[in-house]
Amino acid sequence: ARSPGEGAVPGPALSAVPAAWLPALQLLRRGSKAVTRHWKAMHLQRQKLLAVTEYLPPRPAVPPRCLPRDAPQAHQEDGHARVLRRQAEEALRGSRMLAVCQYNSMPDEDVATLRHYLRKHNIHVKFVLNEVVRPVLAQSKYRNLLPLFVCRNILLVSPETRAREMLRVLKGVPQVTLLGTCIDDTILSRQGVENFARLPPLEVSQGETVGALSLLPSQTSSLLQRGPAQLTALLDEHIRRLRDTGSSQEAMEPPQGQSSGNH
């Protein structure tokens, strides 16, 4: 189709250019305008062009899902977690007795009563989150208590070692179960804690030890004095017997001796 503009422009320049400057007149004769409300039907050539020039996404030789995944980034430390960890560290530092108990849900007032009774014996109850407490324990000396920290649990910390009172209070609370204890750097199981509680208090046992140790030295002086004491007893007995016989003889002689003495 010859475009109408060809006649207006000098011939040789335009005859080299194909007639594609304006849309073909045949297309414009019966069609609608460029912008329509409906979706205007496209010419097949245009459809082919759009089909050829579609977007092709990149396809790497190895699909990304076959490659090793990125190492999970260490999540940022929460300020709240840091505060809780510091509190746990302080509690662990100043305690001689550390008991780990499993906690099943209790009514709030029962929890308050339990805390009150334990506080009377200077035992502090701490609710800990496992994800906060685990790194703290791993670095401290309580490393071997780590397997106990599963599920909900509470810590009973105390600067003194009053196991008997603690066991008595915990016996009355069925929802709290004692799992393990660390008393004076010694890990004790439940049985071990019960045995420990049955031991006499420190002063009494110290006195007993001192008494047992000093039993032999206390007998040394009596041992050493036993020979002379026996000799003294023998001599005393002998003198008594002599006196007894002598007094019976002198009872007869002294009146003669006295009478002779009188002469």
Partner 1 sequence: WPRCDPPLLCPAGPGGVAVPRAGLKKLALPPDYSGIVFPEKPKLKFMDKVPAVPKVRREPRRLRDIRGPSHVATDFTQGQYGILALGGGYLHWGHFEMIRLTIGRSIDPKSMFAVWRVPAPYKSVTRKSLGHRMGGGKGPIDRYVTAVKSGRLVVEVGGRCEFGEVRPFLDRVAQKLPFPAVPVSRESLREMRREEEERRQNNQNPWTFERVVASNMLGVRKYLSPYDLQLKGRYWGKFFLKHRV
Q: Which is nearer to partner 1, 56 or 66 (CB)?
A: 56
- Residue 45 CA to residue 43 CA, distance in Å, equals 5
What lies within 8 Å, CB to CB, of 185 at 6+ separation is: 141
Q: Does 27 bind partner 1 (CB under 8 A)?
A: yes
Q: 178: which strand partners?
A: 101
Q: Does 147 bind partner 1 (CB under 8 A)?
A: yes
Q: Which is nearer to partner 1, 67 or 216 (CB)?
A: 67
What lies within 8 Å, CB to CB, of 146 at 6+ separation is: 134, 137, 138
Structure tokens at 65: 């899902």
Q: Which is nearer to partner 1, 39 or 212 (CB)?
A: 39
Query: To the nearest whole angstrom, how small is the minimum distance from the Cβ of residue 164 to partner 1?
Result: 30
- Residue 218 CA to residue 192 CA, distance in Å, equals 36
Query: Which residues inside 43-82 make contact with partner 1, applying CB under 8 A?
Result: 43, 45-46, 49-50, 52-59, 78, 80-81
- Which of these segments, 29-37, 98-106, 195-203, 235-243, binds partner 1 (CB under 8 A)? 29-37
Q: Does 25 bind partner 1 (CB under 8 A)?
A: no
Distances in Å between the Cα of 225 and the Cα atoms of 165, 228, 229 are: 49, 6, 6
Q: Does 13 bind partner 1 (CB under 8 A)?
A: no
Query: To the nearest whole angstrom, how small is the minimum distance from the Cβ of residue 214 to partner 1?
Result: 50
Q: How many of the chain's residues bind partner 1 (CB under 8 A)?
A: 40
Q: Does 215 bind partner 1 (CB under 8 A)?
A: no
- Residue 91 CA to residue 93 CA, distance in Å, equals 6
Shortest CA distance to 144 belongs to which of 82, 103, 100?
100
Q: Does 23 bind partner 1 (CB under 8 A)?
A: yes
Q: 99: which strand partners?
A: 156, 181
Q: Which is nearer to partner 1, 153 or 181 (CB)?
A: 153
Q: Does 40 bind partner 1 (CB under 8 A)?
A: yes
- Residue 95 CA to residue 80 CA, distance in Å, equals 23
Shortest CA distance to 176 belongs to which of 96, 107, 119?
107
Q: Which is nearer to partner 1, 27 or 229 (CB)?
A: 27
**What is the contact surface with partner 1 in residues (CB under 8 A)?**
18-24, 27, 33-37, 39-40, 42-43, 45-46, 49-50, 52-59, 78, 80-81, 84, 129-132, 147, 150-151
